[in-house]
Structure 1
Amino acid sequence: MFSGDDGTVTTFRANATGTGDTTFQANIPGTSFSDTATITSTGTADGLTIEANQSTVTAGDKVQINLSIVDTGDRVVPVSLDLSVDTTLGTLDSSDATTTVSTTDGEANVTLNATEAGTASVSVANSGLQTSVSTSITIEEEQDQPDEVTSEVNFNDNAAADGATSLTVDNATHDADFVIVAHTATDSDGDGDIQFNNANGNKEIGTKIGSSAIQSNGTQSNIEVNLSKNVSDGDNIDSLAADDDQQIVMMLHVANESGDTNFGGNVKEADGETPVFDNNFVNVSSLDGAAGNADSDGDGEIDRTEVQTAITDFVVEETLTQQEAQDVIRAFIV
């Protein structure tokens, strides 16, 4: 059927005497209108084809499989037939290894659920055509996804000796190289907690006053943060003075060796705004050296509990040398 610009319609019938593509052209005399149409003539249904949209997949994936009824020239024959489909591995649309589908215009689709690793042989058959064809699909093991790394900082060092130029962060974790940066802090709302933005909308984290060396990605422990380094314009702290007890924030920053410092911007929590940090109230003792570091309450004296902690740090944790442990014991005795 051909339609002209003026809405006229011409209909004719063509009898296919062979197979293949036949192109017709219609011209309306006295006008510039011309159009063409192509008709494909197929032979009788002779066989089947099967084609998967992927030949290699991962366990857990789905594979779309196209089924066609064809003639001897592999042309799709537009007939409706029931096809039996089965697989040696995985399941088909019906959640079984076998299913039956009906073709529309000579074609149908099934979905293979690749449930486990191996080779799935998917076949299709029709009893009337007395033929069967198959295709193979390789199913690979599902790769374990790496555990998501949670960025965090743990800072429990609450004691420092008079003149201390460093503090120790217990551990920190990040999925890329990082630096721990020390900041001053002020509990401006007096709630006993340091917040990036408190309930009054005020920031409680202040000036950068020191930084660690660059740490490799993953979890690192006993990270020394150097306070004697000048890391910002407002950094006027090179060491901690006796009785200068204060809140210290240890914040996670990305490593950056191209600038004036060895760190870049801070690492954010999941909210995209709050930086990853931990804080502690550091008591600065009037004692110096190992004894000052052991003076956890900053009262300038070593008590029995602080001696026991020092002995544990020497014997079990191995974070103190024998000489340092002896210095703590000596300060207790005196």
Structure 2
Amino acid sequence: MSDASGETRDLTMSRAMVSAIAHEMRENDEVFYMGEDVADYGGIFDSTEGLREEFGYDRVMDVPISETAYLGAAVGAAQEGMRPIAELMFVDFFGVAMDQIYNQMAKNTYMSGGNVSVPMVLTAAVGGTYNDAAQHSQTLYGTFAHVPGLKVVVPSTAYEAKGLMHNAIRDDDPVLYMFHKRLMGIGWLPAPDGPKTPVPQTDYTIPFGSADVKRDGDDVTIVTLGLHVHRALEAAADLADDGIDAEVVDLRSLVPLDTDTIVESVEKTGNLVVVDEDYRSYGVTGEIVASVADEALAALDSVERVALPDVPIPYSRPMENEVVPDVDDIAAAVRRTQ
């Protein structure tokens, strides 16, 4: 089903993800989950909590610390008709399995002339703000959105987390599902207000390439994703006190990208602020601005980009807080457009 009607319950983002995965595993014996610490431990970000108890070790598999091996195995399983979900504990670890992701997962359908498909989901924890240094704190949205053959999705709430996960598992192409650690709702890493939402108990899908306007406004368009949807909404509430009416657009998926919703918003407001936790150069902020310029340059009065500077993310808490965009950074960028 594609709608989200019926009874709901309030879930954290991690529980919403698990709800979708469990449903798909019950419906299809070819769906299984593999990764580091995903069975007995339930995932260090609670991404698989309770799945091993229901489905056993044959379908919820702890793997050796070899991303090259288990991501390669997932690609092979997908090509043979299974629907694996493989987890990168931290997206930063993709470097040791770059060939499996960039050249096999993304391209094997094309390299085979369409004779094989790769219906797999690669989940990856992204984001900083909890002081785990440069090899555990990146988002790397632009790195993966740049690769032809991958679909890339980023939930910001429990509602999106479930709907996008259902869609990802059912998709016949490889999907990279990037969840922000700060949004998962786990005890040792408090989430902001907002990610925990009512979630339908039935299954539903959110189509890829459909951005969501989280807040209507007339003065400026803020385009963002993941954690920074919530920071943008907080900034918008503060700006409203000063008479600035900000519209907040949650991308939800990067590939495919819903440029129509972005352009429609900018044609209404005339001003664009793009906010991203990835690096500023060659990334999402630049792509969004370029897309709007391609399609609606005449409507664009001002542009601001808010993103990480091009430096490894610091371990030091004050230094990390300095480089990761916050509510004040977003509000300041909006004010510069007025």
Structure with the higher strand share, 1 or 2: 1
TM range (shorter): under 0.3
With the length of structure 1 as denominator, give the TM-score of the two structures: 0.19
Structure with the higher helix share, 1 or 2: 2
Larger RCO of the pair (alpha carbons < 8 Å, separation 6+): 2
With the length of structure 2 as denominator, give the TM-score of the two structures: 0.19
